[in-house]
């Protein structure tokens, strides 16, 4: 008697659009008849236990293989993850082509240092950076030209848009066509409004700028990919005011285009030059963001010292978080006499006292 042959499992490829708890929204691509047309279909999927056992995570943007889709219930299971072309840790997203950095020209006012910090973080990913300034209708043409000239000296050609008045939004949409783009920027600059303008069917919740702090309120809570009408995907990310810097001090200068150009044109006297007070340094000099570089350099140096001492039991540094994305490193208490005793220690001492009395 011949063994019953099992039918091969149906396997389809797709892209993870969102991750919520232990479920994944996957947009599938499958062949339709002889036309070989890619027809998107969204399935709610789980992850195979095998992936969890081998420690293979599934994140937004992953290209995955889905087995045995339940067409009636629109369910499926992710069997494997295809190799990633790029990977971001914060936000956690894979296979990104470029970063769309959105800031406001006004309301909240444009802060050069905050913009520099976001630009350095974006440059550290190694992806293309597209700089966009929203709410250009709130500033004069003269001020807009001044901002453009200033940012050009930084090495960027910003695109001025107005979501409210539909200025240059179509031109921006063409730069996103057929690419996977991460949308980033401080809170309150109009990221959710921009997505609603580019993709009207999304209808994201929009927040207002705080009048007291002149800062935006967070409206996005998780990373999610949205399909653009002209092709491509756009990832909305949670807004934050101060992105973390995880680069080394020696790498920092290369994330400033104007400093990188100086390094390409000349060579510093010392190979480990931090471009601070070393002699014969080609980077140190009169360029606008040099002060920003020095501030960020101190932060990266403190972070490196913390990482070097984190494995040392005699470490004298600890990380202190102040909220709103701000953190710093401060010394630990050198002796135990300033630390409060635990309840367990106090109880043991009390028991020992009564034993001695007896």
Question: CB atoms < 10 A from the CB of 52, how many?
Answer: 12
Rounded to whole angstroms, how far apart are CA atoms 305 and 210?
36
Give yes or no for residue 216 having a pLDDT over 50: no
Provide φ and ψ at 142, rounded to 5°. Answer: -65, -45
Provide φ and ψ at 277, rounded to 5°. Answer: -135, 20
Matching residue, tokens 């005793």: 341
Same domain as 176, residue 55: no
DSSP element (H, E) containing 11:
strand 11-20
Confidence of residue 7 (pLDDT cuts 50, 70, 90): low
* Nearest-10 Cα torsion for 45, 50, 54, 60: -10
Residue 175 lies in a domain: yes
Rounded to whole angstroms, how far apart are CA atoms 217 and 215?
7
Residue 40: which domain range? 11-83
State the pairing for strand pair 11-20/23-30: antiparallel
Same domain as 133, residue 164: yes
- Which of the listed residues 58, 83, 108 is the one where a domain comes to its end? 83
Q: Is the omega angle on the peptide bond into residue 353 within 30 degrees of 0, that is, cis?
A: no
CA 86 to the chain's CA centroid: 13
Confidence of residue 128 (pLDDT cuts 50, 70, 90): very high
Rounded to whole angstroms, how far apart are CA atoms 85 and 192?
27
Residue 53 lies in a domain: yes
Residue 271 lies in a domain: no
Segment 103-118 shows an average pLDDT of 91
Same domain as 77, residue 98: no
pLDDT at site 9: 62
Same domain as 227, residue 103: yes
Segment 350-355 shows an average pLDDT of 78
CATH number of the domain bearing residue 218: 3.40.50.300
- Which of the listed residues 236, 257, 275 is the one where a domain comes to its end? 236
Same domain as 65, residue 15: yes
**Position with higher pLDDT, 213 vs 234:** 234
Same domain as 135, residue 71: no
| 3 state SS of 49 | helix
**Nearest in space to 224 (alpha carbons), one of 30, 61, 99:** 61
pLDDT at site 58: 92
Same domain as 46, residue 139: no
Give yes or no for residue 211 having a pLDDT over 70: no
pLDDT at site 274: 94
CATH number of the domain bearing residue 50: 2.40.50.140
pLDDT at site 338: 53
Enumerate residues 6+ apart whose C-beta is below 8 A from 269.
278, 279, 280, 281
Residue 212 lies in a domain: yes
Give yes or no for residue 257 having a pLDDT over 90: yes
Q: Is the omega angle on the peptide bond into residue 108 within 30 degrees of 0, that is, cis?
A: yes
Confidence of residue 198 (pLDDT cuts 50, 70, 90): very high
Rounded to whole angstroms, how far apart are CA atoms 8 and 180?
33
pLDDT at site 147: 96
C-alpha angle 237/243/244, rounded to 5°?
125
**Nearest in space to 113 (alpha carbons), one of 321, 296, 323, 301:** 296
Residue 358 lies in a domain: no
Residue 259 lies in a domain: no
Same domain as 221, residue 105: yes
Same domain as 65, residue 148: no
Same domain as 213, residue 108: yes
* Nearest-10 Cα torsion for 106, 107, 110, 113: 180
- Number of domains forming the structure of the chain: 2
pLDDT at site 222: 73
Same domain as 177, residue 149: yes
Same domain as 58, residue 140: no
Query: Highest-confidence range of 224-238, 286-300, 310-324, 340-354, by mean pLDDT?
Result: 286-300
DSSP element (H, E) containing 280:
none
- Which of the listed residues 181, 214, 236 is the one where a domain comes to its end? 236
């Amino acid at each position: 008697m011949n063994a019953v042959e099992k039918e091969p499992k149906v396997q389809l490829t797709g892209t993870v659009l969102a991750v919520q708890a232990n479920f994944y929204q996957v947009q599938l691509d499958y062949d339709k008849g002889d036309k070989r047309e890619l027809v998107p279909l969204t399935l709610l999927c789980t992850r195979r236990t095998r992936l969890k056992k081998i420690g293979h995570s599934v994140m937004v943007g992953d290209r995955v293989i889905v087995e045995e889709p339940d067409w009636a219930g629109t369910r499926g299971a992710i069997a494997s993850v295809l190799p990633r072309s790029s990977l971001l840790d914060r936000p956690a997203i894979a296979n990104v082509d470029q970063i769309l950095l959105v800031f406001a020209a006004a309301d909240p006012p444009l802060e050069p240092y905050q913009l520099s910090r976001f630009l350095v973080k974006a440059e550290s990913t190694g992806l293309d950076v597209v700089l966009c300034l929203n709410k250009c209708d709130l500033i004069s043409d003269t001020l807009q030209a001044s901002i453009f000239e200033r940012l050009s000296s930084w090495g960027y050609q910003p695109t001025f848009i107005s979501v409210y008045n539909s200025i240059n939004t179509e031109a921006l949409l063409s730069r996103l066509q057929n690419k996977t783009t991460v949308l980033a920027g401080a809170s309150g600059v109009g990221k959710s409004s921009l997505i609603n303008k580019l993709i009207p069917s999304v209808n994201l919740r929009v927040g207002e700028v705080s009048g007291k702090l002149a800062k935006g309120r967070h409206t996005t809570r998780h990373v999610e990919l949205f399909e653009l009408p002209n092709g491509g995907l756009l990832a909305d990310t949670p807004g934050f005011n101060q992105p973390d810097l995880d680069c080394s001090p020696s790498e920092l200068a290369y994330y400033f285009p104007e400093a990188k150009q100086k390094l390409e044109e000349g060579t510093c006297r010392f190979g480990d030059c931090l471009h601070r007070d070393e002699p014969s340094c080609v980077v140190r000099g009169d360029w606008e963001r040099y002060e920003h570089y020095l501030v960020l350099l101190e932060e990266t140096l403190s972070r490196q010292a913390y990482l070097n001492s984190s494995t040392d039991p005699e470490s004298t540094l600890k990380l202190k978080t102040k909220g709103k994305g701000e953190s710093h490193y401060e010394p630990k208490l050198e002796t135990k006499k300033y630390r409060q005793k635990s309840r367990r220690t106090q109880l043991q001492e009390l028991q020992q006292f009564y034993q001695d009395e007896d």
